[in-house]
Amino acid sequence: MLTPIRLFHGGVMVNYRCNAACRHCLYSCSPTRQAGYMDADTARKVAALLVKGCANSVHIGGGEPFLNFDGLLAVSHELHHAGIQIDYIETNAFWAQDKNAEAMLKSMRKKDIHTLCISIDPFHAEYVPYSLPLKLAELCRENGMDYFLWKESFLSSLTRMDSKTSHTRQEIEQSLSKNYIAETAQLYGISLGGRAVNIEEEYTPLHPAEELLDEKPCRNLTNTGHFHVDLQEFFIPPQCTGIRLPLTEVVEGLDEEKYPVFSTLYHQGIAALFALAKQQGFIAAGSGYPSACNLCFHIRAFLADKGFPELDTDHYRESLKYY
Ligand code: SF4
Ligand code: SF4
């Protein structure tokens, strides 16, 4: 039994559905993910658990939180009611041209929501014309909402493309750089999990699985420096997405025996998980893997179909789509 884990800083993921399917999305969100959205009852329970775990502030993300504005306000209300500060809400700004956008900002300000994190970069520009994050930033300035563009440093290169439309990979390769995917990933310093496993596989030399096996315990699994909680009340560790644990158990004490994949990685690392997967029929790819974490992803993707409760089957299926 793991002792209760103290929560530091994290995010509340209100949905997995998104109007975009960015190639670097750590949570593999997309238009085809389940349409569910965190309801007020769940938000109340999550807020109580966050308080119990000593987290006093969170950001809100998804998916795209603004796909259900009333739902977003309801979740925000429950967090505030529990005394949890909302540091910022993430958005890709798809709604900036909505006729109600200004009214939405005003009603958020009235409810003490003070900051938006607005995504802008070449990966988002494949789905959202970059005029929209700029438009939303302008509306924020006019309506007293703080914001930051994540990341503003991409703006100078984006201005080489038409801001009014989204762009294909081929168009961006022609306008920015043949290597914009690798360069953007490097400038961001992104985690190469979720859909970004494809980026790492395309741009990094591959090694045989046996060369990547490490017996070091994966203690990142209980790191709560940038954890997330999803709409089904699961705790998701930073970076190792696709693994999820009930938030209640994380906060109150985790019965590890119920979660063999988690427990194996946590105590014995990727080498032991590889051995466990081989017993289940896993065969390593002859072409190899770019890193131990990438191998871990593919082992878990294989094991997800075997019914391990800590593995999110949808995550693995969606990670390998849209690339
Ligand atoms: S990175 Fe953000 S905008 Fe892009 S698919 Fe993921 S949740 Fe949606
Ligand atoms: S090997 Fe797996 S569990 Fe360990 S840090 Fe990498 S992704 Fe996370």
Q: How far apart are CA 81 and CA 144, in angstroms?
A: 23
- How many angstroms separate the alpha carbon of residue 25 from the centre of ligand 1? 6
Tally: H helices and E strands in the chain: 13, 8
- How many angstroms separate the alpha carbon of residue 18 from the centre of ligand 1? 6
38 lines ligand 1 (CB under 6 A): no
Query: 63 preceded by cis ω (within 30°)?
Result: yes
**Residue in 60, 147, 131 with CA at minimum distance from that of residue 96:** 131
25 lines ligand 1 (CB under 6 A): yes
Q: How far apart are CA 238 and CA 223, in angstroms?
A: 7
In this model, does residue 323 exceed pLDDT 90?
no
Atom 1 (ligand 2): residue with closest C-alpha?
Answer: 293
**Residue in 81, 96, 82 with CA at minimum distance from that of residue 145:** 96
Q: How far apart are CA 245 and CA 2, in angstroms?
A: 12
**pLDDT tens digits for 160-181?**
999 999 999 999 999 999 999 9
CB atoms within 10 A of CB 64: 24
Atom 4 (ligand 1): residue with closest C-alpha?
Answer: 22
pLDDT of amino acid 322: 72
Instruction: Over range 34-55, report the average pLDDT.
Output: 97
In this model, does residue 106 exceed pLDDT 90?
yes
**pLDDT tens digits for 249-267?**
999 999 999 999 999 999 9
Instruction: Over range 175-201, report the average pLDDT.
Output: 96
